[in-house]
């Protein structure tokens, strides 16, 4: 009633580059759907991340044409018929986009999340690492005592896609060992990366023994203000 619904659909598209392509489409229908556009996430082991983003953009373009009417079925039919064209177009504009984006930091965003707990820690960590890799996000998964923080940097669209995955995927287990979604996550900060912030080159999982060690990680990245604003309240 307040968050809408999310669901995953797997679609097989035939005869693309002489092989079947399996697309995983994640739809989040907001409360106002279909008067409001759905959020869409696209994943496929056979496509590059850039191609998945292009497929997502094309699906959203089509969604705007169906505003105020149920559209999920139409969108699936459309991508089954047009995926080949989207991939070809993606290849031709790829070089132009690369040239334009070289040497700029435009559109780089940062996200700080707080998780309450991880029951299935090893599996949860592996999932977060995979999402960060797939979405080309850098940063840290940080453990300090009972505090769990995820700090991410990357394209704003990738940051938003990560949030959808984090909220809608069964990443942990409940007290009875049954797979469950993350319901105890808080977004502490989502902001554009500024010139004084250093860019993380990789995504790493790190454990800290003391608050001072954790603070030093933030300070090294030029994020002293971010630490002082959001982390001390968690230490109390």
**Band of residue 103 on the pLDDT scale cut at 50, 70, 90:** very low
**Band of residue 145 on the pLDDT scale cut at 50, 70, 90:** very high
State the average pLDDT for the chain.
Answer: 85
Nearest to 165 by CA among 22, 41, 29, 33: 41
Average pLDDT of span 197-215 = 93
For the segment 146-177, what is each residue's pLDDT rounded down to a tens digit?
999 999 999 988 999 999 888 888 888 888 88
Select the more confidently predicted residue: 18 or 185.
185
Long-range Cβ contact pairs of 35-38 (< 8 A, separation 24 or more) = 35/67, 35/68, 37/63, 37/64, 37/67, 38/63, 38/71, 38/72
102, pLDDT greater than 50: no
Select the more confidently predicted residue: 59 or 199.
59
For the segment 54-67, what is each residue's pLDDT rounded down to a tens digit?
899 999 999 999 99
d(CA 195, CA 136): 20
Q: Any idea which residue has 């007290």 for tokens?
A: 175
Percent of the chain with pLDDT over 70: 90
pLDDT of 18: 62
pLDDT of 15: 57
pTM, 2 dp = 0.57
pLDDT of 97: 41
d(CA 224, CA 157): 25
Domains of the chain: 5-90 (3.10.110.10), 108-234 (3.30.70.100)
When mean pLDDT is compared across 45-54, 84-93, 108-117, 139-148, the lowest value belongs to 84-93
101, pLDDT greater than 60: no
Percent of the chain with pLDDT over 90: 46
- Please give the backbone phi and psi of residue 175, each rounded to the nearest 5 degrees, phi first: -65, -20
């Amino acid at each position: 009633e307040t968050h809408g619904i999310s669901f995953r659909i797997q679609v097989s598209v035939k005869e693309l580059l002489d092989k079947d392509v399996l697309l995983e489409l994640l739809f989040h229908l907001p409360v106002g759907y279909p008067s409001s556009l759905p959020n869409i996430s696209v994943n496929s082991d056979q496509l590059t991340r850039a191609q998945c983003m292009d497929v997502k953009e094309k699906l959203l373009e089509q969604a705007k044409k169906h505003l105020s009417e149920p559209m999920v079925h139409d969108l699936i039919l459309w991508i089954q018929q047009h995926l080949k064209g989207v991939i070809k177009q993606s290849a031709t504009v790829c070089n132009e986009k690369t040239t334009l984006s070289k040497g700029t930091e435009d559109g780089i965003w940062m996200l700080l999340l707080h998780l309450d707990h991880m029951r299935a820690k090893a599996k949860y960590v592996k999932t977060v690492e995979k999402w960060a890799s797939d979405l080309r996000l850098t940063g840290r998964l940080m453990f300090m005592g009972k505090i769990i923080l995820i700090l991410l940097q990357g394209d704003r669209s990738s940051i938003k896609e990560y949030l959808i995955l984090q909220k809608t995927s069964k990443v942990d287990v409940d007290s009875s060992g049954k797979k469950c979604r993350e319901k105890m996550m808080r977004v502490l900060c989502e902001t554009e990366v500024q010139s004084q912030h250093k860019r993380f080159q990789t995504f790493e999982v790190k454990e800290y023994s003391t608050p001072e060690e954790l603070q030093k990680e933030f300070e090294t990245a030029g994020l002293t203000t971010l630490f002082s604003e959001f982390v001390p309240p968690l230490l109390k």
